[in-house]
Amino acid sequence: MKIEARIFEAIAVFFLIVGVVYTIATYYFRTGVEWAGATAMFFSAGLALIAGTYFRFVARRVEIRPEDFDDAEIEDGAGELGFFSPHSYWPVMIAGAAALFAIGFATANWWFALGVIPIIIATVAGLVFEYHVGPEKH
């Protein structure tokens, strides 16, 4: 996870530098600062910093992976990567609900968009708890 943290922190520094240069350049070569682009640059830096901080935080709590070694080989990461649900229909349901929300939002049909939010929450809960068995089932 340290590699991922470094990547996102480098992206954050890049966007911060480009944002400062962009803000200064638009201030001197236009009639004023172009705020949409400057805001996008600084927000992109902030989002990358959030992701990098998360990966840095998680890296301290998980065991060292082969990706974290500078001299690791591809074979070091071989083996089972985890469990992936082979026939889950929940991602399709989430995508459909999100599409309905986007249609309601794009057409300014606010009651429709707000009415779809419980469906999105229900489908996400279905995905999260798809393989959950209660304590009495153990």
Q: Are residue 94 and residue 48 in the same domain, yes or no?
A: no
The Cα 45–Cα 19 span in angstroms is 8
As a whole number of angstroms, the longest Cα–Cα distance in the chain is 69
Q: Are residue 12 and residue 67 in the same domain, yes or no?
A: yes
83: in domain? no
122: in domain? yes
36: in domain? yes
Residue 59 or 35, more confident: 35
77, 109, 128 - which closes a domain: 77
Q: Are residue 13 and residue 68 in the same domain, yes or no?
A: yes
Q: Which domain holds residue 22?
A: 2-77
Query: How many domains does one find in the chain?
Result: 2
At residue 79 the predicted structure's pLDDT band, cuts being 50, 70 and 90, is confident
At residue 72 the predicted structure's pLDDT band, cuts being 50, 70 and 90, is confident
Q: Are residue 66 and residue 100 in the same domain, yes or no?
A: no
Supply 5's token pair.
């943290």
Q: What is the rounded average pLDDT of the residues 90-116?
A: 96
pLDDT tens digits, residue range 8-35? 999 999 999 999 999 999 999 888 899 9
Report pLDDT for 81. 73
Other CB atoms within a 10 A radius of the CB of residue 116 amount to 20
56: in domain? yes
77, 102, 122 - which closes a domain: 77
85: in domain? no
**Residue 108 burial (10 A CB sphere; 0-12, 13-18, 19+):** exposed
Report pLDDT for 121. 97
94: in domain? yes
